[in-house]
Structure 1
Amino acid sequence: MYLSKLKSGIKDFTSSVQRIPQCLPDSHCYLCQQPTQRLICEVCEQDCLFFNTPVLPDNLLLWPPIKKGLVSGRYTSVHACSYYQWPMDHLINQYKNGHPQLTQTLADWFVAYALPSDPFLPDCILPVPTSSWRFARRRYHQTLLLANAIGRRLSIPVHANWASRRSFQRKQQSLGRRERLNNLKRAFALSKDPLPSRVAILDDVVTTGATAAALSNMIYSAYPETSVALWALAITPAKADPGALVSGQIRQQRVLLQQY
C-alpha cells in the first residue's frame, strides 16, 4: 500500500514538472532556436512573410484569390496576417497544442500585420466556440485567449459566451469542403445575450470559411442589421500567390515612414 501511494505521488510530481515549461517564458526563438528574450526573435519576425496590404485591399474579401476560396456567408470583410504556410502553420499548430504562451506574440502580429493602420474597429470580438472535449484535452481555449489579448490591445470587449457548439463535431481540418459544410449544419447555438451592430468573428485559421459562414449566417438570422467581420491569424486560399506577401521588415519600414 505504501509503495502504491509512493508510485502515485511520483507520477503526480512528474506530471506537474512536465507542465512547468509551458508556464515559463522560453529562452529560445520558436523558429530559429537561437537564444532570445522574445518568443520569436526580431530577425525571424522580419523574415516572416505577411500580406502586402498596401498593395492588396485591406479587406481581403475584395481580393479575388481569397474570395474564390471561401464559402460565402453573411460576413463582409476578412482580415488575416498571412497564408497558412511556414512559419504561420508551425506557430499556430504549436499554439493550439500546448503552447498558450504564444498568445501575446500572435495577438501583436495580428494587430500589426492584419489590420490597416487606421482600422474601422468592431464593437466586440466573438471568438469561435470550441467543443467541451477539445477544451478538456488542451486545457485552454486558444481562440478565446487570442481574442482577449487582441481586445486588450485595441480596447475592444470580448463576448466569450456568445455562442456554443451543440454537440460533438468531427475536426474541420480533417474534412473536405463539402464535408465541412455538412459537419457545421446546426453545429452552433446562439446565446440570449444581445449583440451590437458591428462584430468580428475571430478564428485561428480560415480554410474554407465554412465555420465563419455558419456563424455569420446564424448571427444574421437573429440580428439582420449587425455587420460581421472575419478575423484570423492565417488563411488558406484556393491558390496561393507568393507576390501577395512581403517581409515583416518591409512592413515595419513602411509603418515608420508613415509616421514621418
Structure 2
Amino acid sequence: MPANLLQWPPIKKGLTRGYYSSVYACGYYQWPLNQLVKQFKTGHPQLAQTLAEWFVRYAWSSEAPLPGCILPVPTSAWRFARRRYHQTLLLANAIGQKLSVPVYTDWASRGSLQRKQQLLGRQARLNNLTQAYTLSETSLPSRVAILDDVVTTGATAATLSKMLKAANPDIQIDLWAIAITPSKPDSAALVPGSIRKLRMKLPN
C-alpha cells in the first residue's frame, strides 16, 4: 500500500475532493487508534506524544517532501472551553518537534457551526463549513500540511485547502491525520501490519 493514501483507490473515492495532493494517516478509525484518539480528546492530552510517535513511525514516508509548516485544524471556542486544550494543536506540536517542522498556530479561526458535522453527509458538511472558517495567515511556505486528528469525509480539509489555494495559488497542500474513516470495503487493508500486531496496553 502506498504511503500517500490518495494513491489507494478506496481512500480517494471516499474523500471529498479538495486541493490537497497527498493524505498520510496511521490507519482506519478502529482499534487501537480509535481508543487512543477518544482518550486523547477526553481528558488525556499527554497522549499527543504517543499519537505523534505513531504518526511518524506508521504514517509518514521519509521519501515524501517535508512541508514548510504544519497547520492544525482550528477548534471552536466552545470546544476549547469544554476540553481546556486544543488537541490538534498539541498533536501538531508533538509531530512538528519529531520532524523538525514549525507549527503555525493562528493561521485560521473557526466560528460556530449551524449543525453538528457528525450528523451530516458529505455535501451537507461542505455547506455547513462554508462560513465556519476564516483564514488569518496568508504568508505561508510553498508547501504546508493540514493536520486533523481524524478525517471522516474530508470536508474540513477540502474547505480549508480551498481557502489556502485561493490565497496562495501555487501552494502545495498535504493532509495529515492519525486516523481516517471514509468508505472502507476492506478496513484491515489500511491498518499497517505493525499496528495490527501491536498489543500495547491502552492508558487508563
CA distance in 1, matches of 2:60, 2:135: 27
Q: Name the CA shift for 1:98/1:85 in 2 (closer, same or farther; >3 Å).
A: same
1:245 aligns with 2:191: yes
Q: Name the CA shift for 1:209/1:158 in 2 (closer, same or farther; >3 Å).
A: same
Counterpart in 1 of 2:90?
Answer: 145
Instruction: Using the TM superposition, give the Cα deviation of residue 168 of structure 1 relative to its aligned residue in structure 2, in angstroms.
Output: 4.0
AA in 2 matched with 1:133: W
- Residues 185-205 of structure 1: CA deviation (Å, up to 9, x unaligned): 121110145111000000000
CA distance in 1, matches of 2:141, 2:100: 15
Residues 70 and 103 in structure 2, CA contact (< 8 A), matched pair in contact too: yes
What's the C-alpha RMSD, in Å, of the aligned pairs? 1.8
Gaps in structure 1 of 5+ consecutive residues: 1-55, 253-260
Q: Name the CA shift for 1:189/1:138 in 2 (closer, same or farther; >3 Å).
A: same
CA distance in 1, matches of 2:197, 2:57: 9
Residues 106 and 137 in structure 2, CA contact (< 8 A), matched pair in contact too: no
- Residues 53-90 of structure 1: CA deviation (Å, up to 9, x unaligned): xxx11210111100000000111100000001112111
Higher relative contact order, structure no. (Cα contacts within 8 Å, ≥ 6 residues apart):
2
Residues 71 and 105 in structure 2, CA contact (< 8 A), matched pair in contact too: yes
Residues 113 and 128 in structure 2, CA contact (< 8 A), matched pair in contact too: no
Aligned-pair identity (%): 65
Q: When the two structures are aligned, how many residues end up with a matched partner? A: 197
Counterpart in 1 of 2:164?
Answer: 219
The SS at the match of 1:230 is strand
Q: Name the CA shift for 1:178/1:62 in 2 (closer, same or farther; >3 Å).
A: same
CA distance in 2, matches of 1:142, 1:234: 14
- Of 155-164 and 177-186, more deviation after overlay is shown by 177-186
AA in 2 matched with 1:187: A
Counterpart in 1 of 2:201?
Answer: none
Q: Name the CA shift for 1:223/1:249 in 2 (closer, same or farther; >3 Å).
A: closer
Counterpart in 2 of 1:159?
Answer: 104
1:195 aligns with 2:148: no
Residues 83 and 240 in structure 1, CA contact (< 8 A), matched pair in contact too: no
- Residues 82-106 of structure 1: CA deviation (Å, up to 9, x unaligned): 0011121111111111110101000
The SS at the match of 1:173 is helix
AA in 2 matched with 1:248: S
Residues 138 and 168 in structure 2, CA contact (< 8 A), matched pair in contact too: no
CA distance in 1, matches of 2:11, 2:195: 24
The SS at the match of 1:136 is helix
Q: Name the CA shift for 1:192/1:62 in 2 (closer, same or farther; >3 Å).
A: same
CA distance in 2, matches of 1:192, 1:65: 33
